[in-house]
A and B are shown apart, each in its own frame.
Chain A
């Protein structure tokens, strides 16, 4: 009998954790080589969004009234539309990098090249290889959120009203949202065929972004009751509302306990789906 099987859990955990960190190290190396495209990818969407809606439009003559978001600016209190956008755009950045860090590479790795084979063959249970994808993606998402913050803080012409009352809550939301984005990426990356990955942007990413309370607070949907209830199945809602509650509490937001509970729920659900999908793609 092999000594590793006999010698119990201690040895096993050493083997597993070394393999896990080996995988992380590999992903770090690959990311470090693509740091510039990564930054461009992360920053471009919030940069342009903020620039057009919170800088250009307010400067147009009569822009405030012409702007389709004039009403919403009021929702942000005296902070204007930038206050509404700050948490929303952070949520989008977190979600995008989850998709970009997991779903897109997986599509390639499961495709013709089967590049993932060598990593799947490392001495680590398959489920843990999937978890590594989520964790690494989570780190990338945190980074992406950190890039958005200064943009959203400094670009808007009306200063953003940001105020952190509980750092613990902010950290909890950021970590949960980042892992959730990775789990979403894993679920998408393992459930669609590699050649259909482009379609995912139109069918999944765009709808969950626009219906994810990113550009408006959930409370503002009150007048469209069916939509306000309907968007509750969208995990992005809890990411943007969570950041809203943590960073810009002057904007109306969902109860904090509900936000945390739903983030945990979606994280568990998507991790389970993603791991299952991963195993079924890897094993035959």
Chain B
């Protein structure tokens, strides 16, 4: 595995007050360079706080964060040179035009006027914003504003780009455009760390994922490995007319070749199985004798992984 570009050790953040809130409760994270890395979890899990600390906008209660080897608490101003940030909300400078938002960002990071102009023109082109260069941010749609925020964030060639809930409030089309823009960054050697509570986004976009809940990392792996941990390629949810003989059905199903596990869920049974021809028919025939009402088949998703780990739905 290559060098860790983002290194988080024992991170804790407690917000003081009448009822102190533990937002981050001992997070360790190593993000290898060049990946798109996702922090997946429900709202309030501690994702945004973790990113705020890593991007020098919040001070940790304990623990440390190093970005490209620089301690963000000890050297915040210098660490920012390696960091690009796209926050959850639109923070574009309303007093400056689209082009100026990028150009002044370049100036803040020490580029000369000529360098800033070249970089601005190049980014406007890359993010298909050239025709809006002289518009003000207020006039941009949500999707365009988001693209401009990403363009601005990477203008100074950061090593890591942090995206906090990048698709919040975007329509499906803009979301896909944003995914493409983020995937394009891989080619520029920018490591991306993003937070999301959309499992589709995590699944589609991320090379590795950490699932976070209540300020702790529950599990960390590739999306494929996480889904494989469910222990089956197919999920058959059987809805039964009545459940008084379900114990007997469970036993029969378990003995069926290809079924990896059977568990009782509300209103019926959930069967996890390997992908195998004819298995569904067998399961249905067996269940039919016990009063099968309906069957739905799905494939394991990150949602299933999350429910498995927390007993809760991601959207709750």
Evaluate contact between A4 and B78: CB separation under 8 angstroms: yes
Most buried by B among A16, A18, A284: A284
Within the complex, the shortest CB–CB distance from B285 to chain A, in Å, comes to 59
**Of B69, B79, B109, which contacts A122 at CB under 8 A?**
B109
Tally of B interface residues using CB under 8 Å: 38
Which residues 245-284 of A have a CB within 8 angstroms of B? 282-284
A119 contacts partner chain B, Cβ-Cβ < 8 Å: yes
Evaluate contact between A26 and B104: CB separation under 8 angstroms: yes
Interface-facing stretch out of A53-61, A109-117, A217-225 = A109-117
Q: Whole-angstrom distance between the alpha carbons of A112 and B87 in the complex?
A: 13
**Of A21, A112, A119, A123, which contacts B77 at CB under 8 A?**
A123
Evaluate contact between B70 and A5: CB separation under 8 angstroms: yes
Most buried by B among A15, A23, A108: A15
A207 contacts partner chain B, Cβ-Cβ < 8 Å: no
Q: Whole-angstrom distance between the alpha carbons of A15 and B204 in the complex?
A: 38
A65 contacts partner chain B, Cβ-Cβ < 8 Å: no
- A117 and B110 in contact, given A15-B78, A123-B81 (Cβ under 8 angstroms): no
Evaluate contact between A121 and B85: CB separation under 8 angstroms: yes
- A2 and B55 in contact, given A30-B96, A117-B91, A118-B152 (Cβ under 8 angstroms): no
Which residues 68-122 of B have a CB within 8 angstroms of A? 68-70, 75-83, 85, 87, 89-96, 100-101, 104-105, 107-110
- A118 and B78 in contact, given A23-B108, A26-B107 (Cβ under 8 angstroms): no
**Of B57, B58, B108, which contacts A123 at CB under 8 A?**
B108
Within the complex, the shortest CB–CB distance from A11 to chain B, in Å, comes to 9
A284 neighbours in B (Cβ, 8 Å): 15, 52, 57-59
Contact string against A for B residues 46-58, beta-carbon threshold 8 Å, 1 for contact and 0 otherwise? 0000001001111
Evaluate contact between B105 and A2: CB separation under 8 angstroms: no
Interface size class of A (residues with CB under 8 A): 35 or more
**Of B57, B87, B100, B108, which contacts A19 at CB under 8 A?**
B108
Within the complex, the shortest CB–CB distance from A273 to chain B, in Å, comes to 20
B81 neighbours in A (Cβ, 8 Å): 4, 15, 123
A71 contacts partner chain B, Cβ-Cβ < 8 Å: no
- A5 and B75 in contact, given A115-B91, A123-B80 (Cβ under 8 angstroms): yes
Contact string against B for A residues 4-45, beta-carbon threshold 8 Å, 1 for contact and 0 otherwise? 110000001011101101110110011001000000000000
Contact string against A for B residues 146-166, beta-carbon threshold 8 Å, 1 for contact and 0 otherwise? 000000100000000000000
A120 contacts partner chain B, Cβ-Cβ < 8 Å: yes
Which residues 67-115 of A have a CB within 8 angstroms of B? 108, 112-115
Evaluate contact between B108 and A114: CB separation under 8 angstroms: no
A124 contacts partner chain B, Cβ-Cβ < 8 Å: yes
Evaluate contact between B110 and A15: CB separation under 8 angstroms: yes
Q: Whole-angstrom distance between the alpha carbons of A124 and B107 in the complex?
A: 12
Q: Whole-angstrom distance between the alpha carbons of A26 and B93 in the complex?
A: 10
B108 neighbours in A (Cβ, 8 Å): 18-19, 22-23, 26, 118-119, 122-124
Q: Whole-angstrom distance between the alpha carbons of A135 and B68 in the complex?
A: 33
Q: Whole-angstrom distance between the alpha carbons of A55 and B59 in the complex?
A: 58
Q: Whole-angstrom distance between the alpha carbons of A122 and B76 in the complex?
A: 10
Q: Whole-angstrom distance between the alpha carbons of A93 and B107 in the complex?
A: 31
Evaluate contact between A2 and B94: CB separation under 8 angstroms: no
Evaluate contact between B69 and A25: CB separation under 8 angstroms: no
Q: Whole-angstrom distance between the alpha carbons of A166 and B94 in the complex?
A: 44
What 10 pairs across the A-B complex have the smallest Cβ distances?
A22-B107, A122-B108, A18-B110, A117-B91, A22-B108, A26-B104, A2-B70, A30-B95, A284-B58, A4-B78
